[in-house]
Amino acid sequence: MLIKQLSVFLENKSGRLNEVLDILGRADIRIIAATVADTSEYGILRLITTDTAAAYMELKNNQVSAQQSDVVAITCDSSAADFAAKISCFAREGLSVEYMYCFSVGDKAFLILRTSDNARVPELVSRYGLQTITEHDLSLL
Amino acid sequence: MDERYFQPEIETMGRHDLEALQLRRLKESIGAALRSPFYRTRYGGAGITPDSIRTLDDLRRLPFTTKDDLRGNYPFGLVAVPMDRVVRLHSSSGTTGNPTVICHSRHDLDCWANRVARCLYMVGVRDTDVFQNTSGYGMFTGGLGFQYGAERLGALTVPAAAGNTVRQIKFIRDFGTTVIHAIPSYVFRLYEVMRESGISPQTDTRLRTLVIGAEPHTEAQRRKIEESLGVKAYNSFGMSEMSGPGVAFECPEQDGLHIWEDSYIVEIIDPQTLEPVPDGGIGELVLTTLDREAMPLIRYRTRDLTRILPGECPCGRTHRRIDRIKGRSDDMFIVKGVNIFPMQIEKILMQFRELGTDYLITVDTVGNNDEVMVEVELGDLFTDDYSQLQRLTREITRQLKDEILVTPKVKLVDRGTLPKTDGKAIRVKDLRNNR
Ligand SMILES: [Zn+2]
């Protein structure tokens, strides 16, 4: 239901993002989705990969500050109306969305959400009949 | 006689008597110093005689002696006895300019060995012990200094010298070594090699006590040494200008190093104003030798930063304690009139578990103001949330400001990216002089 996301601390210095991606590339880890949010001094790179546990160990061994955390990835079609409908399920239950990004494979789109209360996510997913993807699904991509 | 003390009458002497002893010896030291060409010129010219000193406080009026004075009067300009009385010299490696040379008479070597014996006895070393010294021998004072000190005590002393770890471990096992003197990084090396060879320090050796020094280390590293080897580890402080090891040493309380005040007068000064710092404050250690005849040094600026630990030690020794040395006074910088030592900043940073171990302090002029920037590497990322990172930065800034009285700019940086020279971290970059 929940999947692992990798967050990586990135100082705002040219080339640093490349270094991190190179480390993952050398370990044969593929990136399914990525987003970078930054301030003037540093950024946090958020990644969904084919093997997040391995990616985390690879970065750790290379002295990169990283963390694994839980997010939910919901299947939806690419229409704005559908995006809104899916997100509103959480709002209705009093969960706020801290951040969100998406990716698509073929005609399928996936919304990755970090909510204010991960513990309640499974319950809401089943109540609203949302479709989510699992770690196993990711490893097959 | 109390078994805890090597020389109970000196180690537990009342402060009043100890200071009277210091005053008497100080006058003798100045008298002796005046027989050297260097002090004859510097002190004699200023009309300074042993009678200029009526109280210990009068010492403060005398000029300092520096490492440059030793270099500038290389090799024998500070020798205060006829050369036939000199029986040994130790010389530092002079990486820049002349090396420094310290000359010893038979009396000086005798006092030195006695001090080292006193230190070792203090932490429980006895004539039944086997003491293995992994210091380099030769010019380095940690070799012969500990050798003669441990022999004076009557311990079986193994001059293993530095290196060849496999052989060191063979000695430890074959000779039943109970005490080792080593630098902390070498202790970790010994432990590594023991583990690789399937030797348990606890069950396969008789090791009980470690004497560590000559290399800066943290309390956490000491505890790690104690745990991994199953020993007690004690800090040793010395320097070749003050003969070598045996200047100050931890007692069983492991809370500060007793500095032997029958041999040295201790001052802590502000390295900038050269004024005394009150007990408890950090400053530069300044030492005056009291029982060295071949080459007395008066008010020698050690460049080491430490502080006097206020209060009495439960061990019963009356000689005051200094904190472990954490930096050099050359690293001090001044911002907005405030003296700042890197160790103050390091102390705060090391309290944050979110941070790594490397940091860099940059001082620069921005507009008309001097500003301090502290770049510190992050440890493992502990959050995915900016506001948490910002909160961390704010908290570090607040605590630093409380400590150094100047608000620094704190910046989190990637691990392993701060500059290093020769594998050693650079701690302070002062860009103000470059403009
Ligand atoms: Zn004590």
Distant-in-sequence, close-in-space partners of B80: CB < 8 Å, separation ≥ 6: B32, B33, B34, B35, B36, B39, B293, B294, B295, B296
Q: Do A11 and B381 touch (CB under 8 A)?
A: no
Task: Check residue B204 and give its pLDDT.
Answer: 96
Interface of A with B in 81-110 (CB under 8 A): 98
Q: Is A67 on the interface with B (CB under 8 A)?
A: yes
> Measured between CB atoms, which of B379, B386, B413 is closest to A44?
B386
Structure confidence by residue, pLDDT tens digits, B272-286:
899 999 989 889 999
Cα of B313 from ligand 1 centre, angstroms: 5
Whether A99 and A112 share a structural domain = yes
For the segment B351-356, the average pLDDT, to the nearest whole number, is 90
Largest CA distance in chain A: 45
| Domain range for A25 | 2-68
Considering CB atoms only, which of B381, B386, B416 is closest to A66? B381
CB contact under 8 A, A67 and B380: yes
Give the CA count within 13 Å in the CB-facing half-sphere of B66: 9
Q: Is A14 on the interface with B (CB under 8 A)?
A: no
The model's pLDDT over B142-182, given as tens digits with 9 standing for 90+, comes to 999 999 999 999 999 999 999 899 999 999 999 999 999 99
Indicate whether A27 and A37 sit together in one domain.
yes
Residue B216 has pLDDT above 80, yes or no: no
pLDDT digit string (tens) for B235-268? 999 999 999 999 999 999 999 999 999 999 999 9
pLDDT digits (tens, 9 = 90+) for B90-148: 998 766 678 999 999 999 999 999 999 999 999 999 999 999 999 999 999 999 999 99
The pTM assigned to this predicted structure is 0.76
pLDDT of residue B265: 98
Q: How far is the CA of B249 from the centre of ligand 1 (A)?
A: 9
A73 vs B128: CA distance, rounded Å: 71
Is A41 within 8 Å of chain B by CB?
yes
Mean pLDDT of B400-426: 84
**What backbone phi and psi angles, to 5 degrees, belong to A137?**
-55, -40
Does one domain contain both A94 and A74?
A: yes
Superfamily designation of domain B333-434: ANL, C-terminal domain (3.30.300.30)
For residue B108, give both structure tokens.
């000086």
Whether residue B435 has pLDDT greater than 60: no
Distance separating alpha carbons of residues A19 and A8, to the nearest angstrom: 12
- Determine the distance separating the centroid of ligand 1 and the alpha carbon of B252, expressed in angstroms: 7
Q: Provide the shortest C-alpha distance from residue B62 to chain A (in Å).
A: 51
B157: tokens are: 């002393």
Q: Do A114 and A55 share a structural domain?
A: no
Chain B CB within 8 Å of residue A131 CB: no
One domain, residues A82 and A111: yes
B413: helix, strand or coil: strand
Under-70 pLDDT residues of chain A? 78
Angle at B281 between CA B276 and CA B286, to 5 degrees: 45
Name the residue facing B381 among A9, A11, A13 (closest C-beta). A9
* Per-residue model confidence (pLDDT) at position B295: 98
Q: Going by C-beta distance under 8 Å and a sequence separation of 6 or more, which residues neighbour residue B111?
A: B263, B291, B292
Q: What is the mean pLDDT of chain B?
A: 93
Each domain of chain B, given as residue ranges in start order, spans: 1-329, 333-434
CATH classification at residue A114: 3.30.2130.10
Tokens of B294: 């071949």
Pairing of strands B308-309, B179-182: unpaired
Residues A103, A33: contact at Cβ < 8 Å?
yes
* Interface membership of B417 toward A (CB under 8 Å): yes
Average pLDDT of chain A? Answer: 88
Examine the domain organization and report whether A82 and A130 are in the same domain. Answer: yes
Checking if the pLDDT of B423 tops 80, the result is no
What pLDDT shows up at residue B200? 96
User: Would you identify the CATH topology of the domain B1-329?
Assistant: Rossmann fold (3.40.50)
pLDDT of residue B96: 65
How many domains would you assign to chain A? 2
B333-434 matches B1-329 in CATH topology: no
User: How far apart (Å, rounded) are the C-alpha atoms in residues B209 and B87?
Assistant: 32
Per-residue confidence (pLDDT) for residue B84, from 0 to 100: 98
